[in-house]
């Protein structure tokens, strides 16, 4: 009975997140951007799979990934063995990154580098930076100086790598922090911080995803300097046409087994790691283990359905819409439309739900899930507008990322550190499978219509989506800090507001 109630709750959340996107796409299809009936039906079938997939995934992540990460983090920190913490955190980062489905998509788009070389290099980058992130928490090192140093290294390297690789390198940071990585790594941070007894422990529980997003960028940049691809980046055709309803069904039925195998291989390393940890150290009760295993089953079903719907249903629709909108007499119309889509589509990212819920719990409601959702939506909306300006004009991504990160890193020294950690985490979380499956194809379709270079102009959407929430969430933090200071000044001893709160017969000692 409890499971049914939970599923009904998750279904409502999924509907609220995905329904606006369906309505916007349908409104465009029946007005200024007509698309073929087969692509429209493909989109609608994909939307149903995404809704059901989100329902199962969010429940599964709550029941399995979050408790697994939290238990491993607590157990690892209790040991007080630094070398064990380094080894286990590196292995975790490495295993979880290889498990990330979006990384396979990125690897397939970069033929100049062998797939496995790219995947292993990125996984090493995430593993190394997860070690740094956990050591930062244990040693209470401030996050802003670390981020400043690493992003300086990123932008210095940016001037030495091939132009075709620049956008892909930045995109890799957002792609590798997806629905598989985020719940586990964030829960790991909460588990580690729970062992600390100081008052800043909760603040430091965030920031792991922020640092883990830098590793892939550096890894891909270094790889591009070794392989020197010389513009060898190719993009496969995304538009899938079906002649009749049977062929349409075959698109999905042929895709589901592929994703079943992919997600099985993705979840298996995490499952095996946890089982070894359970036997050697955790020794959880049979009831707790049963709940985690049921949660893993929900996670598996949810991700299979979600990725099938996103990649087979949403991807062709996004590409075709981009071509139709940018191919009109006034291609600039795609900028405001993309901003509206960006505002709503971030709510459909599976990992965003996990982040918003965890932020609300850790801060005891001081930062609500609703406020986080609004900050992320505004950030992604702005980023989509900037990304479409890049697609239409061909401006280098550095003209946006350099000032964007400069502002984000600059204000991080003046904002409450909890907001900085949450903001930099949210950047990686916002750029998940919905960005890769709908927004990136939208940009690629628009780029094709205006005759641009897909490798330099269309890629970079994920990077833009990952950048703007860093600013919007920190601006929220700054506004909260200013409001807090005003309240303190208003209710300071001796102020008019302080006297107004006293009862009429109160005795005041002078």
Q: Report pLDDT for 502.
A: 46
Q: Report pLDDT for 232.
A: 47
Res 336 pLDDT > 90: yes
Average pLDDT over residues 115-138: 86
DSSP for residue 33? S
Cα separation, 290 vs 111, whole angstroms: 42
Q: Would you say 131 and 89 are in contact if contact means Cβ atoms under 8 Å apart?
A: yes
Res 230 pLDDT > 60: no
Res 335 pLDDT > 90: yes
Q: Report pLDDT for 490.
A: 61
**Within a domain: residue 3?**
no
* Residue of 311, 355, 386, 262 whose CA lies nearest to 58: 355
* Residue of 23, 60, 63 whose CA lies nearest to 44: 23
Res 395 pLDDT > 80: yes
- pTM, two decimal places: 0.80
With bands split at pLDDT 50, 70 and 90, how would you rate the model's confidence at 89? Answer: confident
What number of H helices and E strands is found in the chain? 24, 0
Cα separation, 140 vs 136, whole angstroms: 6
Res 431 pLDDT > 60: yes
Higher-pLDDT residue of 150 and 72 is 150
Please list the alpha-helical segments (H only) found in 79-207: 82-98, 101-108, 115-139, 143-158, 163-175, 181-195, 201-204
DSSP letter string, 184-235: HHHHHHHHHHHH--STTHHHHTS-HHHHHTHHHHHHHHHHHHHH--SS----
**Within a domain: residue 172?**
yes
Q: Report pLDDT for 500.
A: 45
**Within a domain: residue 510?**
no
Instruction: State how far Cα 392 lies from the chain centre.
Output: 25
Cα separation, 463 vs 397, whole angstroms: 9
How does pLDDT run across 374-392, given as a tens digit for each residue? 889 999 999 999 999 999 9
User: How many domains does the chain divide into?
Assistant: 1
Average pLDDT over residues 277-305: 88
Q: Report pLDDT for 241.
A: 59
How does pLDDT run across 166-182, given as a tens digit for each residue? 887 888 877 777 777 77
Q: Reduced to 3 DSSP states, what percent helix, strand and coil does the chain have, rounded to the nearest 5?
A: 80, 0, 20
With bands split at pLDDT 50, 70 and 90, how would you rate the model's confidence at 208? Answer: confident
How does pLDDT run across 10-52, given as a tens digit for each residue? 898 888 888 888 999 999 999 988 888 888 888 999 999 999 9
**Within a domain: residue 17?**
no
Cα separation, 352 vs 170, whole angstroms: 20
**Average pLDDT of every residue of the chain:** 82
Cα separation, 110 vs 113, whole angstroms: 6
Please tell me the total number of residues recorded for the chain in this structure: 510
Here the contacts of 144-148 (C-beta below 8 Å, separation 24 or greater) are: 144/409, 144/412, 144/413, 144/417, 144/420, 146/211, 147/210, 147/211, 147/214, 147/409, 147/412, 147/424, 148/409, 148/412
Decide: helix, strand or coil at residue 269.
Answer: helix
Q: Report pLDDT for 105.
A: 62
**pLDDT above 90 coverage of the chain, percent:** 19
Q: Which helix (H) or strand (E) holds 452?
A: none
Phi-psi region for residue 341, left (φ > 0), alpha (ψ -120 to 50) or beta? alpha
**Within a domain: residue 486?**
no
- The tokens for 133 are 């992130």
Q: Report pLDDT for 242.
A: 63
Q: Report pLDDT for 479.
A: 85
Q: By residue range, what is the domain housing residue 181?
A: 26-481
**Within a domain: residue 115?**
yes
**Within a domain: residue 132?**
yes
Average pLDDT over residues 172-199: 73
Res 8 pLDDT > 70: yes
**pLDDT above 70 coverage of the chain, percent:** 87
Q: Report pLDDT for 491.
A: 55
Burial of 206 (0-12, 13-18, 19+ CB in 10 A): buried
How does pLDDT run across 91-112, given as a tens digit for each residue? 888 888 877 766 766 666 565 6
Q: Report pLDDT for 501.
A: 46
With bands split at pLDDT 50, 70 and 90, how would you rate the model's confidence at 488? Answer: low
Q: Report pLDDT for 112.
A: 64
**Within a domain: residue 260?**
yes
């Amino acid at each position: 009975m409890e499971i049914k109630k939970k599923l009904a709750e998750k279904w409502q959340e999924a509907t609220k997140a995905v329904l606006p996107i369906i309505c916007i796409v349908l409104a465009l299809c029946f007005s200024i951007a007509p698309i073929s009936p087969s692509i429209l039906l493909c989109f609608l079938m994909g939307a149903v799979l995404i809704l059901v997939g989100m329902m199962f995934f969010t429940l599964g992540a709550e029941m399995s990934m979050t408790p697994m990460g939290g238990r491993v983090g607590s157990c690892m920190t209790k040991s007080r063995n630094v070398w064990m913490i380094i080894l286990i955190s590196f292995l975790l980062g490495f295993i979880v990154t290889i498990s990330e489905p979006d990384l396979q998509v990125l690897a397939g788009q970069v033929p100049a580098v062998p797939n496995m070389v790219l995947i292993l290099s990125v996984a090493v980058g995430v593993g190394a930076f997860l070690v740094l992130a956990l050591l930062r928490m244990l040693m209470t090192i401030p996050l802003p100086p670390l981020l400043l140093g690493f992003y300086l290294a990123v932008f210095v390297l940016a001037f030495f790598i091939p132009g075709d690789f620049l956008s892909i390198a930045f995109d890799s940071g957002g792609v590798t922090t997806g629905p598989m990585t985020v719940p586990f790594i964030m829960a790991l941070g909460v588990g580690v911080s729970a062992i600390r007894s100081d008052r800043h422990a909760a603040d430091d529980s965030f920031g792991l995803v922020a640092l883990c997003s830098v590793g892939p960028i550096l890894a891909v940049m270094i790889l591009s300097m070794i392989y020197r691809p010389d513009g060898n980046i190719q993009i496969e055709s995304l538009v899938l046409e079906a002649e009749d309803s049977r062929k349409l069904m075959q698109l999905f039925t042929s895709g589901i087994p592929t994703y079943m195998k992919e997600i099985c291989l993705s979840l298996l390393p995490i499952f095996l790691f946890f089982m070894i940890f359970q036997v050697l150290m955790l020794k959880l009760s049979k009831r707790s283990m049963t709940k985690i295993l049921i949660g893993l089953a929900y996670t598996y079903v949810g991700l299979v359905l979600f990725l099938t719907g996103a990649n087979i249903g949403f991807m062709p629709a996004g590409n075709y819409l981009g071509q139709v909108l940018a191919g009109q007499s006034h291609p600039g119309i795609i900028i405001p439309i993309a901003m509206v889509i960006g505002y709503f589509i971030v709510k459909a990212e599976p990992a965003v739900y996990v982040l918003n819920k965890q932020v609300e719990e850790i801060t005891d409601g001081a930062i609500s899930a609703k406020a986080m959702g609004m900050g992320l939506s505004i950030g992604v909306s702005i980023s989509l507008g900037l990304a479409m300006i890049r697609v239409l004009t061909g401006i280098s991504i550095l003209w946006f990322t350099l000032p964007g990160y400069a502002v984000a890193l600059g204000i991080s020294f003046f904002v409450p550190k909890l907001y900085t950690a949450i903001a930099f985490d949210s950047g990686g979380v916002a750029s998940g499978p919905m960005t890769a499956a709908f927004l990136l194809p939208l940009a690629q379709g628009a780029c094709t219509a205006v005759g641009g270079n897909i490798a330099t102009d269309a890629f970079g959407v994920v990077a833009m989506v990952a950048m703007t929430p860093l600013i919007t969430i920190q601006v929220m933090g700054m506004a909260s800090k200013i409001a807090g200071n005003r309240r303190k000044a208003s209710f300071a001893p001796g102020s008019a507001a302080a006297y107004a709160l006293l009862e009429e017969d109160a005795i005041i000692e002078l």
